[in-house]
Structure 1
C-alpha cells in the first residue's frame, strides 16, 4: 500500500464560519484547505469517529466531494510540527448544501439532524465572503498570493467568447417562484416580472459567484446576452446545482416570506433593497 504524502504548509490561520472555528492552511503550491478533523467537528460530527463519519456522510449527501477528498488525500505538516489529514477547499459548500438538501427532502437520518444548523452557518459565511477570501484572510496569504490569482479564477469560471443560448433556468424553476406570488407561469414566451430576475441574481448568481466574477460578466455581456452564456463548464455546473437548490426551497415554501427566510438561512442574509422591493410589491397587491 502506498503511503500518504506529507505536504508542507506555507501559511496557517483560523477560519471562522460564524461562531465555528476551523484551522485553515495554504500549501506551498498555493492549494488551500483545512485541517480535516477540525472541519469534521465544525460540521457537527462526533469526536470519536470523525474520520469514518465524514467519509460516510460525504458518500451519502455529497458523492462529488467524496471523490475530490479521495483524489486529494494527503497529510500536512502544520507550523507546530504536527502531522494531520488535509481537507481541500472548494467542496465544503457542496457538503453543507448536501446536508441541507437532504433535510429539506426528508432524506437526512434523524441522527444527522443536528448537522443542519452548523451547515447553515458554514453556508452563510461562504455566501458573504467566499471560501478563498476567508482562507486567504485567515492565513495572511492574501498578501502573498500571485497577482494573477483573480485572472486564474476568471479563466476557470468564464469562457473567452459568449456561447450560443441554451435553456438553463427550467420551467420548474419559474413555476416554483411564480407560485410564491400566486402567479401562473405561462411558459418561456412570457417575460418574467422584474422581481424574479432580482431573486435569481440574489439567490443564484450572488451565492455561487464572487463579486469580481459578476462584474466581469457585466463588463463582457451585450444587452442581448444572458449571464450564463459566459460561464464555462465549471461555472455552469455551479449554476445548475444552485438552480436546483433554489427550486427545491421554493417548492417547499408556503409564501415568498417563507422562501426568503429559508434562502437567507441556507445562503446568507438578503440585501435591504430587496426587502423594500418585495414590501412595495406586496403592498400593491
Structure 2
C-alpha cells in the first residue's frame, strides 16, 4: 500500500538508486514524478512540492505510470563518422536518444511531416507503407518512449533495434524505386549505418560505448564451498535495500541522501563485521579470495571489482544474507546510536556468535592438522 500521507522530498527522485520503481502520477494532465521505495514510501521532487500538496488526496496507485530507467551514464557511440547518444535500461534494452537518431539519419525534426498512427521517425507515407508490409509487429519497437535518465531527468529514447529496421526499409524503398530526391541523403546515411552494423551488432557497440559489459560479468569460476559460494559471478542485484543504508546513516548521525550511492568508506567495515562476518568462517575467506581488494593508483585506494554478494549461491548464500539483513535492519531501527546498536546486536545474536566462535575454532583446528 503506497504511503502518500507523509510525502518525502529530494532534488531528483528519479535518480534514487535503491527505489523499487520510478515514474509519475498523472493527475489532471499533470505529471507528478515519484520514486517508490521497497517499503512503499514515496519520494517526490522538491520543486513539485506545491503540486504534491495540491493533489495529495487525489493520488492513487491506479494513476501511477512506471518509467524504465537508465542504469549507465549516456555515452557517445560512433558508427563510422555518425555520432549517436546511447544508454542501457534496467530491463536490458539498449537505447538511442531520439535527437541523435534523427541526426544519424541526417534528418531534422522541425517542419517534418508526421504520419498519423506512426512514430515520428517515419517521415513519409511510402516509408510507413513499407513498415506495415515488412515489419507489422515492430511498430511498438520503433516508437519513442519516456525514460528516467541516469541524471534524474526524463527524455525520449528509441529502442536501438530501430536503426537496422529503418535502414532496411530505406534499402527496400530504393530497390522498389520509391526513394524521392528529398530522401536521397537519408538513404545514403542508412547505407553507411547498415554496412557498419553488419560487421558488429548494435548491442555490442552500445555495451562497449557504455562499459556495460563490465557490469554484466559472466566470468566462470570453479566450484568452491558449494552451499554458499556461487559457481559463477552472479549478475548484480540490490541485496542491500535503502532501509539498511538509511539506518546506517542515522546510527552514525550523518545526513542521508537517497539519490546517491556514495557512502563513507568506513561503512564497508560495518558491513563486513555485522553482515559478512556472520557467515560461516571459511565462506568469508573464499569471498575475499574470489573478489580481492585491488589497489587503484588514480584514486589512491583499494576497492573490490564486484559486490561480495555476487559470489553467494542463490539457494543458501543469498537466502542466508537476505534473512540476516532483515533481522539486522530491525535491530538497527530499534537502536538510538552506534553504542546502543552494539549492545543490542550482542544481545540479539549472542547464540549465533557463540556458534560461529565454535565453528571458527573447529575450522582453525582442521587447518592446523592439515599443516
TM-score when normalising by structure 2: 0.36
TM-score w.r.t. length of structure 1: 0.45
> Which has more helix, going by share of residues?
1
